[in-house]
Amino acid sequence: MTINYFFYFDNCALFILFIGMEISELNNISLNSKKVKEGFIGQRMVVLPPNVKKTVINNELIKRFYLTAIGHYPHAIFHDRERNNGCNEYILLYCTEGKGNILIHGINIELKPNTFFIIPKNTEHHYKSSQKNPWSIYWVHFAGENADLLYNRYLEKKLDLLSIPYDERRTTAFEEIFNLLENSFDIRDLEIINIKLQEYISSFIYFKEINPSYQDDDIVSNSIAFMKKHLNNFFSVEELASQQHLSVSHYSRLFRAKTGSSPNQYFNQLKIQKSCQYLYFSDRNIKEICVELGFEDPYYFSRLFKKLIGISPANYKTRHKK
């Protein structure tokens, strides 16, 4: 077992930052259930010591919105956290890879890449990572009067999973906040941290308002361009949605609204259109074309071709030769 850690002292308070962990038996691990609250390879987290938190609460500039804990758990297998009495702070969970589940108000919510959820304070909840495809999450605990107001803005979207496209600036903002905390609990740094934090949380809740130039149609165009570049592959709708950093339902809805087809139907149409070009302009036989376009079964290709074009690939090629 290897644990790398750093110690910082601030007014006799101990601050511990865990990084680069390799852990088999640590931090509330049950060998039977394999549930883990904290303790993952590459984990980073900061929890404000009580005296520093008191300093923040007494600061007129930031006491209405402030951070109490922050962290990043990459590939957090067996991550499992249950609070029967809830938490007296709001908790933002932002998933960038893998998936997991949040149980709250009797509703089971699946967190997928590029989706986020804010757990309300003082509310019973239970969240856990998938064992087969463990999530990577950024998380923040925050509180204050303005946190209540900001959460109400979030509630206007209803208690549901919200999806946002990936934006590197959001990760950069998180790193800026985290790095400041890593280096100092100086009051001016704490002020900067919490001012940046409100902007960071707002980037989720006010995404559409902050990015008015963002167009859903661009996502469909980008996805079609991706399909055209990878006609020799087959992708599930889940993979296509993930490539555009969207949930399957949101991606499929946008795609059908613009094209009138499902993503898979459209992808097949592109493949068949390309096969027509091969049949018309080249001497490749049907088996070679199937290999070129990723079809493992020539009979499936022929049936799909006839369904979309009206005649078999062989008849299409014969007609061209005549």
Nearest CA to 166 out of 97, 235, 102 is that of: 97
What local confidence, expressed as pLDDT, does residue 18 receive? 38
Claim to verify: residue 228 and residue 263 sit in the same structural domain: yes
Residue span of the structural domain in which 288 resides: 216-321
Max Cα–Cα distance, the chain, nearest Å: 91
What local confidence, expressed as pLDDT, does residue 214 receive? 56
Query: Residue 259 is part of a domain; what is its CATH number?
Result: 1.10.10.60
Cα distances (angstroms) measured from residue 294 to each of 229, 268, 270, 291, 297: 13, 11, 12, 5, 9
The pLDDT confidence band at residue 209, using thresholds 50, 70 and 90, is confident
Number of H helices, E strands in the chain: 12, 12
CA distance 274 to 264: 15
Instruction: List the alpha helices (DSSP H) in 35-167.
Output: 50-57, 145-155
Claim to verify: residue 181 and residue 242 sit in the same structural domain: no
Claim to verify: residue 40 and residue 150 sit in the same structural domain: yes
Domain tally for the chain? Answer: 2
Claim to verify: residue 160 and residue 41 sit in the same structural domain: yes
Claim to verify: residue 189 and residue 304 sit in the same structural domain: no
Claim to verify: residue 138 and residue 204 sit in the same structural domain: yes
For 160-194, b/e burial (b = at least 16 CB within 10 A) is: ebbbbbeeeebeebbeebbebbeeebeeeebebbb
Q: What is the pLDDT of residues 253-277, one digit of tens each?
A: 989 888 888 999 999 999 998 998 8
In the listed set 152, 180, 210, which residue is the last one of a domain according to the structure?
210
Claim to verify: residue 231 and residue 202 sit in the same structural domain: no
Q: What is the pLDDT of residues 135-180, one digit of tens each?
A: 999 999 999 999 999 999 998 865 556 778 778 889 999 999 999 9
What local confidence, expressed as pLDDT, does residue 217 receive? 52
The residue among 92 and 276 whose pLDDT is bigger is 92
Amino acid at 230: H
Claim to verify: residue 175 and residue 77 sit in the same structural domain: yes
Query: Residue 48 is part of a domain; what is its CATH number?
Result: 2.60.120.280
Claim to verify: residue 165 and residue 32 sit in the same structural domain: yes
Task: Look up the pTM and report it.
Answer: 0.59
Nearest CA to 313 out of 287, 229, 297, 269 is that of: 287
